[in-house]
A and B are shown apart, each in its own frame.
Chain A
């Protein structure tokens, strides 16, 4: 067999595709769906995310619940993602997409900062996000609020999964946004103080977490100002605490489970110095 033939018949092994998507399973999966299989449930952040601009800065916040269908997949997931020191992104939509998109953005922005020696601008982050998302025509299900402070002032943008972007003085996203936006619409004022804005965001988030099934557990806030960025969280509102502890303690004594076979593998314990941190 000629080398070319071998190459074409033997599936070549990719060690690393450099982070690009691998579509090799697409046809198979579609065929499986055609045979009557259903696609699995993905973890989504049916979320409440809120952001408000105040005089000279920006407050952003998110709840911390991730859901898969009607069960809570993660009670304390991090939805406020750091892009740079003074640019943050909150995400709603498919959880894996959000993690990866924000990871990509933070990497790219850091590189940009190192290459140019200046702080990245919010509009840069936004443009990168929207170009990536537009490329994939909405198939990457990331709905982002990107906000931060740069030399041109505080900015807040919304970027939807198909690449539409808008600028806002205040906004909310996710399934709890309806409840949250009512609070914002009622109480938002131009040029609020930092304290007022922080309280407003917290109240809006609490409204979202209270009125929406898919949001809750705890909330995280980030307050971005030109001089400093403060991260607060997780804050657990009163209604998110367990109202009563369990009545009984479910403790099993040794022997509660019948063990049929038992094997122990001892391994050589190497006393390690922790040099990683």
Chain B
């Protein structure tokens, strides 16, 4: 069994018109056994920038701490909020520093930059950034999500449409991914607020 699917977990992000959605499941397992059912894999970095960490959750925690450390240092030094583009570059460099002996976590960044342009990107474990304009997915349910999102994503979705599309995508994924589940949480980031919705999903 791959280390990447040891704890399970999936994160997906979609970009819309001046808004982004980022969603994750809530399960943590130890291979087949479920350990916890309230573990968000999406973390707030700044008001408008969120990071999702899928993969081996022990490493995800470590990496999150390192990310927050570097982000705080950046904000103190530069005295401004970090942009998602900058954050992703930072995480990429952090991940690549561990090119040999990597952290088993795939980071995903979603957020709005200071002109409220949506930015989403995902990385592999050693920090190869791919930043498409439509959607990204990481974790055990990546394949499931990419297939669904390919059909559900449309240009310039408004926040409520985007929420429905993201929510339905992750729900469809949870239907088939055994390593993720136990509910899902969706963050809709718009220019003046963040909506956090816990949605009804399979509880297994």
**A contacts B: CB pair < 8 Å:** yes
Residue positions of A touching B, CB distance < 8 A: 15, 17, 19-29, 32-33, 36-43, 66, 68, 71-77, 94-97, 99-100, 139-140, 246, 249-254, 256-267, 269, 272, 274, 276
Q: CA–CA, A24 to B142, complex, Å? A: 28
The smallest C-beta distance from B69 to any residue of chain A, in angstroms, reads 9
B156 at the interface (CB under 8 A from A): no
Are B6 and A37 touching (Cβ within 8 A)?
Answer: yes
Chain B residues lying within 8 Å of A73, measured Cβ to Cβ, are 122, 124, 128, 130
Chain B nearest Cβ from A54, distance in angstroms = 32
A233 to B128 alpha-carbon distance, docked (Å): 21
Structural contact, B130 and A74, CB atoms closer than 8 A: yes
Q: Using Cβ atoms and an 8 Å threshold, which residues of chain A touch B164? A: 252-254, 256-257
Interface contact B96-A40, CB-CB below 8 Å: no
Q: In this assembly, does B67 line the interface, its C-beta being within 8 Å of a C-beta of chain A?
A: no
B167, closest chain A residue (CB)? A257
B199–A42 touching, CB < 8 Å: no
Complex formed: what's the CA distance from A199 to B129 in Å? 31
Q: Which of B2, B161, B167, B200 contacts A251 (CB 8 A)?
A: B161
If A38-B2, A95-B128, A260-B199 touch, whether A19 touches B97 (CB-CB below 8 Å) is: yes
Q: Is the CB of B194 within 8 A of A28?
A: no
- A263, closest chain B residue (CB): B196
Q: Which of B115, B128, B167 contacts A42 (CB 8 A)?
A: B128
Residues of chain B contacted by A66 (CB below 8 angstroms): 128, 130
**Interface contact B124-A274, CB-CB below 8 Å:** no
Report the minimal beta-carbon distance from A96 to chain B, rounded to whole angstroms.
4
B195 in complex: contacting residue of A25, A251, A262, CB < 8 Å: A262
Closest to A76 in B: B132
B125 shortest CB reach to chain A, Å? 5
Write 30 A-B pairs (CB below 8 A) sorted by A numbering: A21-B99, A23-B100, A26-B101, A28-B101, A29-B102, A29-B104, A37-B3, A38-B1, A38-B2, A38-B3, A40-B2, A40-B124, A40-B125, A41-B4, A41-B124, A43-B128, A71-B146, A73-B124, A96-B127, A97-B126, A99-B128, A99-B129, A139-B100, A253-B164, A256-B168, A261-B197, A262-B198, A266-B192, A269-B192, A274-B114
Instruction: Name the A residues within 8 Å of B199 (CB-CB).
Output: 257-260
- Contact pick for A37, options B1, B96, B98, B151, CB 8 Å: B1
User: B16 in the interface, Cβ–Cβ < 8 Å?
Assistant: no
CA distance A162 to B124 in the complex (A): 23
> Once bound together, how far apart are the Cα atoms of A264 and B199, in whole Å?
14
Chain B residues near A39: list those with CB within 8 A.
Answer: 2-3
Chain B binding surface SS class: mixed
CB distance from A140 to the nearest CB of B (A): 7
The interface residues of chain A lying within 8 Å CB-to-CB of B195 are: 262-264
**Which residues of chain B in 1-41 are interfacial with respect to chain A, using CB atoms and an 8 Å cutoff?**
1-4, 6
**A66 closest partner in B (C-beta):** B130
Contact A42 B97 (CB under 8 A): no
Residue of A25, A75, A96, A264 near B124 (CB, 8 A) is A96
State A261–B114 Cα separation when bound (angstroms).
29
Residues of B within 8 A of A36 (CB): 1
Checking B6, B47, B126, B200 against A267 with a beta-carbon cut-off of 8 angstroms, the contacting residue is: B47
Chain B neighbourhood of A23, CB < 8 A: 100-101
Q: How far is the CA of A266 from the CA of B97 in the complex (A)?
A: 36
Is the Cβ of B97 less than 8 Å from the Cβ of A250? no
Complex: chain B residue closest to A41, CB-CB: B124
B143 beta carbon closer than 8 Å to chain A: yes
- Distance in angstroms from A144 CB to nearest chain B CB is 16
A26-B100 contact given A71-B146, A261-B197, A265-B193, CB 8 Å threshold: yes
B:140-192 near A, CB below 8 Å: 142-143, 146, 151-152, 154, 160-161, 163-165, 167-168, 171, 183, 191-192
Q: Which A residue's beta carbon lies closest to that of B188?
A: A264
* Residue B103 at the chain A interface, CB threshold 8 Å: yes
Q: A37-B3, A267-B193 are in contact. List 16 more A-B contacts (CB 8 A).
A: A20-B97, A24-B98, A25-B101, A25-B102, A28-B101, A42-B125, A42-B126, A66-B130, A256-B164, A257-B171, A264-B193, A264-B195, A265-B194, A266-B193, A267-B192, A272-B114
Residues of chain B lying within 8 A (CB to CB) of residue A94: 126, 128
- Asked whether A264 and B2 contact (CB < 8 A) given A96-B128, A272-B114, the answer is no
- Residue in B100, B114, B151 whose CB lies within 8 Å of A250: B151
Q: Least Cβ distance of B136 to chain A in Å?
A: 9
Write the B104-135 contact mask toward A (1 if CB under 8 angstroms, else 0): 10100000001100000011111111101000
